[in-house]
Amino acid sequence: MDFKRIYNGAGALLLAVCFCLGINSPVSANGFVTPQVQQQLDKNDALYSSLQDAYTQRKWRQVSITFDEYTKAFVTLDLKAKQYSSLIVDVEEKRRKKRELDRYNSLRKQKQKEYVTAHGLGAIAYAHRKKFVAANDVLREVQEYGDEQAIIPAARGVIAYLMKDYNAAEPLLKTAHTLDSNLFEPVYYLYKIAFNKGEYGTAFFWMEKTAALKPERLDLIMAQAQLLQKLGQSSAAELMYTQLIKLDSSNAVAYNNRGYCRIALGKLDAAFSDFNSALAINDAYSEALLNRAALWRATGNLAAALKDLNSGLKSTPSDTRLLVSRMQTQQDMGNYVLAKEDMEQILLLSNSISAVNEAGWFLATCPSDTVRDGKRAVELLLPIVKRSKRHPRVLDSLAAAYAASNEFDKAVATQQEALTRGIEYRLPNYQLTNYEKRLALYAESRSFKTSMD
């Protein structure tokens, strides 16, 4: 028997089998993914991209619509095991087929991850539209991935935040951040929770992380600067507003806020320049008019202050902040009757604690005997004491009102409480000093008038 001939014949047969397997086995991308499936995958990709774009732009209704389209069109790729014959002896061919298979399974994992992410984004969109049941239903479909993909606990945290359940939201968002420190939602909403709680130091910690993830977003730079202002770090806030102005020279808010910081730093000329710049961008910007008017008052130019306030009220006649400032300016100018007219308008427009407190303070401390009305001031202020949680500034006004009504025992007790709570609230030293001076006056059965400042 010619073993050589048989061996060669078997080799030829084996090569022929291998050649056929190489053509017909579904190991290439085209073999695993048919043209029809590829077409569906392309549609999925386009919808997923549109979903992300709508989410980035916070178009919540569009996110919901696109999410529904995406899930309906989604193609589930089956897990593929090794599908090539053990008869293949070409090592390179085996490696190639394995690489093709690995690429397919990698594609499958990627699409599954996108599917879960889409559910997270869809749930957040529904929550922003106040459709909380629908949001939770969306997440229920992918809850098994909650320990793997950060978007699931992140979405649950956002839902809890929007439902104002901060205690439930916080641990969920922290879990999401632990799973993926590069995910935006956890750090952003942890910042918002801390801010809403008045924990501005913690809020700044999370905002720094948030801004680092989206350095191109100017609103995050603005948020950082505003937090620094709230923390009393005027110099650092000034630098950040300067950075923001370099990036966007048409940002009137940044100019206005930097001007406010510069007042705190004693840079009055620079503050004037900033308010002027803000108003050059938007001449009806009431916040800048209000701040420039306050600066005019502080530097003794009452006529200029009144002009700014009148300009602002022409555009927004119901702005109680402008009315309060004009009432104070009119009082500084000795126009007590006109100041009282503004006070009455304030009370018609607003029942807020700050508005009523300013009106009560004016009535209690006005130098004009014909305008001052301690009893009415007491009637106005008593209801807001509880609403303000006995805030020291409200108590200070109420004490002045009692003194104007010749009820000095009540004035002394109330002013003493205002001083005690002012220390607890960490009010500035100059305010606490004024509280002490008024307490001494009331102890001597003397009322306080604003001309005594």
Share of the chain above pLDDT 90, in %: 80
Asked if pLDDT for residue 391 goes beyond 90, the answer is: yes
Asked if pLDDT for residue 49 goes beyond 90, the answer is: yes
Nearest one of 120, 124, 189 to 149, comparing CA atoms = 120
Share of the chain above pLDDT 70, in %: 90
Span 224-230, average pLDDT: 96
Asked if pLDDT for residue 24 goes beyond 60, the answer is: no
Residue 358 region, left (φ>0) first, then alpha (ψ -120 to 50), else beta? alpha
Asked if pLDDT for residue 153 goes beyond 50, the answer is: yes
Asked if pLDDT for residue 327 goes beyond 90, the answer is: yes
Which range has the worst mean pLDDT, 22-26, 208-212, 437-441? 22-26
pLDDT (0 to 100) of residue 328: 97
pLDDT (0 to 100) of residue 2: 40
257 touches 230 (CB < 8 A): no
Instruction: Count other C-beta atoms under 10 Å from residue 275's C-beta.
Output: 30
Nearest one of 207, 242, 244, 239 to 222, comparing CA atoms = 244
Asked if pLDDT for residue 17 goes beyond 70, the answer is: no
Helix (H, G, I), strand (E, B) or coil at 203: helix
Span 51-61, average pLDDT: 95
- Each residue's pLDDT tens digit, 345-358: 999 999 999 999 99
- What does R_g of the chain's alpha carbons equal in angstroms? 35
Asked if pLDDT for residue 429 goes beyond 60, the answer is: yes
Span 143-161, average pLDDT: 91
Average pLDDT, the chain: 90
pLDDT (0 to 100) of residue 23: 35
pLDDT (0 to 100) of residue 34: 80
pTM exceeds 0.75: yes
Nearest one of 210, 215, 292 to 256, comparing CA atoms = 292
Given the candidates 3.20.20.70, 1.25.40.10, 3.40.50.1950, 3.40.50.720, the CATH classification of the domain at 285-350 is 1.25.40.10
pLDDT (0 to 100) of residue 129: 97
- Name the helix (H) or strand (E) containing 409: helix 408-424
Which range has the worst mean pLDDT, 145-159, 199-213, 378-392? 145-159
Backbone angles phi, psi at 426, to 5 degrees: 55, 45
Asked if pLDDT for residue 421 goes beyond 80, the answer is: yes
Confidence of residue 89 (pLDDT cuts 50, 70, 90): low
126 touches 158 (CB < 8 A): no
337 touches 369 (CB < 8 A): no
pLDDT (0 to 100) of residue 93: 74
Residue 352 region, left (φ>0) first, then alpha (ψ -120 to 50), else beta? beta
pLDDT (0 to 100) of residue 168: 97
Asked if pLDDT for residue 33 goes beyond 90, the answer is: no
**Letter for the amino acid at 319?**
D
Span 234-244, average pLDDT: 97
pLDDT (0 to 100) of residue 87: 53
- Name the helix (H) or strand (E) containing 5: helix 3-24
Span 182-191, average pLDDT: 97
Instruction: Count other C-beta atoms under 10 Å from residue 52's C-beta.
Output: 16
> In this predicted model, which residue has the larger pLDDT, 94 or 220?
220
Span 133-151, average pLDDT: 90
Q: Where are the domains of the chain?
A: 27-145, 285-350, 359-366+373-452
Which range has the worst mean pLDDT, 135-149, 317-331, 397-411, 434-448? 135-149
Asked if pLDDT for residue 110 goes beyond 80, the answer is: yes
Please tell me the distance from the alpha carbon of residue 315 to that of residue 281, in angstroms, as a whole number: 16
Span 216-243, average pLDDT: 96
Span 300-309, average pLDDT: 97
For the chain, the first-to-last Cα distance in angstroms comes to 125
Which range has the worst mean pLDDT, 3-17, 48-62, 409-423? 3-17
Which range has the worst mean pLDDT, 27-31, 221-225, 257-261, 271-275? 27-31
pLDDT (0 to 100) of residue 9: 42
Confidence of residue 21 (pLDDT cuts 50, 70, 90): very low
